[in-house]
Amino acid sequence: MTIKIFGHKAPDTDATCSALIWEWYLREVQGKEARACVQDPPNSEARFVLERWGVGMPETLGPLQPGDEVVIVDTNNPAELPDNINEAEIAEVIDHHLLAGGLKTRAPIKMTLRPVAATATVMHWLIGRDMDRAPDAIRGLMLSCILSDTLEFRSPTTTPTDRKVAESLAAALKIDIPAYAAEMFAAKSDVSAFSDAELLTMDSKLFEIDGHRLRVSVLETTAPAVVLERKAGLMAAMGEVAARDGAERVLLFIVDILNEEATLLVPDEMVRTIAEKSFGIPASGDTVVLPGVMSRKKQIIPNLRV
């Protein structure tokens, strides 16, 4: 039976490409039948990366059948996985997020979590010397995952290991990191094809904060002005997007990659209070700028207070 490898819902570059990296490793190094999948269409940066390295789009994961053998990458959170994930045979989990709890298996498994910026960095270590056998496309996907998740080493999630791995891959591929990262971020910043509701859920996770269910969304961009022009539409779409999952509010952080700051949209008094309590910055208008804030994992979630 073919092993299905997939990451979280609303796949970004690391979720999409680390599934493909592991497909290569299982097939070509371990000689197993394995296939990378995505739960939803990947974001525009991930699509740019696949095209740049000549790698086909992973197929969409259909409904999981009980007993399907799966490898989960770039998440360990059941909320970001198919509903019946615990009925599958989870063979392996490779991730770099906090331990969410809730994922269960009936048999011992392989699970590798490491506090680094990208799942691809964990895989680079797991693959070890077999990296010698990796084609350029696989190295290119790995490099892209790390540049994406570290925002070209700007994010505070970046570890020395992430940087070292990315730099060695770039050297082997003769890739100029600043130029390539700029292309990736331009692709990510082109949000013209997406509706307001789509922008609110593109890179978005549900959290329970002080007893309140919130959707915490991030838009990483080199062109924040383009997003901010759509402010009114985005705020108008928030109510319906929040209601879908029973969340009280959508918090949209527009992360300016180049200027290393985030702008939070402030549609109402509740979000205004959250902004002040969480970041100590009074919000007078309908946006608040948070200097230095780039990482949901390291800077937004740990500070959120309702």
**DSSP annotation string for 262-293:** EEEE--SHHHHHHHHHHH-----SSEEEEET-
- Residue type at 190 in one-letter notation: D
Binding map of a second copy across residues 281-300, x = CB under 8 A, - = no contact: ----------------x---
Q: Which of 97, 154, 212, 230 binds a second copy (CB under 8 A)?
A: 97
Q: Are 124 and 161 in contact (CB under 8 A)?
A: no
Q: Distance between CA atoms of 53 and 45, rounded to whole angstroms?
A: 13
Site size toward a second copy, by CB under 8 A: 24
Q: Distance between CA atoms of 226 and 245, rounded to whole angstroms?
A: 27
CB of 160 to a second copy, least distance (A): 15
First-to-last alpha carbon distance for the chain, in angstroms, is 47
179 binds a second copy (CB under 8 A): no
Q: What number of other Cβ atoms are within 10 A of residue 178's Cβ?
A: 8
Question: In 3-state terms, what secondary structure has residue 57?
Answer: coil
124 binds a second copy (CB under 8 A): no
103 binds a second copy (CB under 8 A): yes
31 binds a second copy (CB under 8 A): no
Q: Which of 199, 236, 205 is nearest to 221 (CA)?
A: 199
| Window of 101-109, 228-236, 254-262, 271-279 that interacts with a second copy by CB under 8 A | 101-109
Give the residue with the Cβ less far from a second copy, 109 or 173. Answer: 109
- Residue type at 170 in one-letter notation: A
Residues 76-95 that bind a second copy (CB under 8 A): 90, 93
209 binds a second copy (CB under 8 A): no
| Window of 4-12, 14-22, 38-46, 103-111 that interacts with a second copy by CB under 8 A | 103-111
Residues 156-175 that bind a second copy (CB under 8 A): none
Contacts with a second copy, residue ranges (CB under 8 A)? 90, 93, 96-115, 297, 302
